[in-house]
Amino acid sequence: MIKFPIYLDSHSTTPVDPRVLKTMKPFLEEEFGNASSRFHLYGRRAAKAVEDAREMAADLIGASSAEEIIFTSGATESDNLALKGAAEMYRERGNHIITTAIEHKAVLDSCKALERKGYEVTCLKVDRQGLIDLEELRVAINDRTILISVMAANNEIGVLEDIGAIGRLAKERGVLFHTDAAQACGRIPLRVEELGIDLMSLSSHKMYGPKGVGALYVRKKNPRVRLVPLIDGGGHERGLRSGTLNVPGIAGFGAACALAKKEVPADSARLLSLRERLRKGLFDSLDSVFINGSMERRLACNLNVSFAYVEAESLLIELEKEIAVSSGAACMSANPEPSHVLKAIGVEEDLLHTSIRFGLHRFNTEEEIDFTVKRVAEAVRKIRAQSPIYGLTRGPAAAKENPAHTGREI
C-alpha cells in the first residue's frame, strides 16, 4: 500500500533511517551528558559516542585520521568555515579563490562576502551538461590563488564534477581544494586521499541522518590545512568550532555514515533502476519533456525535468496532496527568480520556470514510482489543456509540422 504523499524530495532532506534513530535514542534520554564534561560517567559516555561517530565519518570518506573530522551544524556552516577560514589564514599567500557558477548558495554567498573584503573570486562557467572545463580551470589558477571550491554533486541537477581531476590539478599548482559534498557523500564513494581533497563539507540529513549536524574534513598532512575559526569560545573541535556538541545528532550522523559505507553500492543500483523507471515513464507518457544536465555523470537518485508549457508552481500545487517534489533548491524556495543553476547551463528562457526536481531515496518503491508517472502525466496534461500556447504549438497541426519534437536532453 502506498503512503501519501509520496516523498521524492531527498535533495532537500532524506528521511531518518530507523537504524539511525535507534542509535540516537539513548542520547536523547538517559545518556544526556555533555561530551566536554569528562570528569564523570555521563560526560565520558557522550564523549565516546562523539569519537565513535568521528571514526565512522572518517572511515566513510577515507580520511587518514579521525581528527580530520570537525563537527558542525551542517554543510552551510562547513562551507563558510572552509572558505572564510582558509581565506583569512592564507591571506598573506594570496587573495584569489576559484569556484563555479552552479555552487550552492552557501559557497557563492561566502565568496561574495569575501569579495567585499577585497578577495578576488573567479566563477567558472559550466557547459550545458553542468560540467566545468578543466582547461579553463587550469588557466584561471594564478600565483595568488589560494583555494578552489567545486561541489562534488549539484543539489539541483545531480551532476557529478570530475573531482579527481580537479584535485590533481590543485595539487600540481599547490592550491587548496575544497568540495561541498553534501549531496554526494553517502550516495557515491568518496575517498579524500585518492581524490586530492583538502577540505570537504558533509551533511547528515542528506544521507538519512538527523538535521542540524554536519562536518568539515580538514586535512592534517600533505599539506596540513589551517583555518581561522568562525566561532570562538571554549576551543572545541581542535579550536575550529567552539560550542557544546550536539551528541544525539552526532551519534546519528555517525550511524548514517556507517550505514552508507556498507549500503551505497546496493542503494545506488536500486535507485538507478527506479530513476530510469521514472524517466522512461515520463518520456513515454508525455511530449515536450526536457532533461536538465548530464545523464551520464549524474547521481542515481536525481532527475531534473522541464515540462514545457507548464509552470512548475502550478504543477506542484496540482501534485501537493499526493507527491512531494520541488522545483529546485530548498534554500531558494522563497526566491521567485529562476534557478541560477538552470540559467548557468543555458536552459532556454521559456523553460526556466518549468523544471521539477525529483530526488529519490532508499525507501522508495516501484509502486510509488509508477503512481508518480501516472499522476504527473495526468497533471501535466490537465495544465497544458488550459494553455492556448500549447494548443497552438503542440496540437495536430503543429505535430505534422514538427513530428520529431517529443523532448530532448539538454
What are the sequence ranges of the domains in the chain? 6-12+264-394, 18-260
Cell numbers at residue 342, please? 538552470
Rounded to whole angstroms, the Cα distance separating 124 from 111 reads 13
pLDDT at site 401: 32
CATH topology of domain 18-260: Aspartate Aminotransferase; domain 2 (3.40.640)
Task: Compute CA 300 distance to the chain's CA centroid, rounded to the nearest angstrom.
Answer: 13
146-156 exposure pattern, b = at least 16 Cβ within 10 A, e = fewer? bbbbbbbbbbb
Give the span between the Cα atoms of 195 and 394, in whole angstroms. 47
Question: What CA–CA distance (Å, rounded) separates 140 from 122?
Answer: 7
- Please tell me if the domain spanning 6-12+264-394 has the same topology as the one spanning 18-260: no
pLDDT digits (tens, 9 = 90+) for 354-364: 999 999 999 99
Give Cβ neighbours of residue 391 (< 8 Å, ≥ 6 apart).
none
Q: What angle do CA 65, 66, 69 make, to 5 degrees?
A: 115
Q: What percent of the chain has pLDDT over 90?
A: 91
- Classify residue 68 by its DSSP letter: G
CB 306 within 8 A of CB 347: yes
Least confident range of 61-70, 116-125, 316-325, 400-409: 400-409
> Regarding the domain with residue range 6-12+264-394, which homologous superfamily does it belong to in the CATH classification?
Aspartate Aminotransferase, domain 1 (3.90.1150.10)
Cα dihedral value 158, 67, 210, 265, nearest 10: 50
State the CB neighbour count (10 A cutoff) for residue 337: 9
**Residue 361 in 3-state DSSP?**
coil
Active site residue 123: no
Amino acid at 124: L
Question: Which single residue is written with the C-alpha cell 563537527?
Answer: 71
C-alpha to C-alpha distance for 208 and 325, rounded to whole angstroms: 17
Q: What is the pLDDT of residues 338-393, one digit of tens each?
A: 999 999 999 999 999 999 999 999 999 999 999 999 999 999 999 999 998 897 87
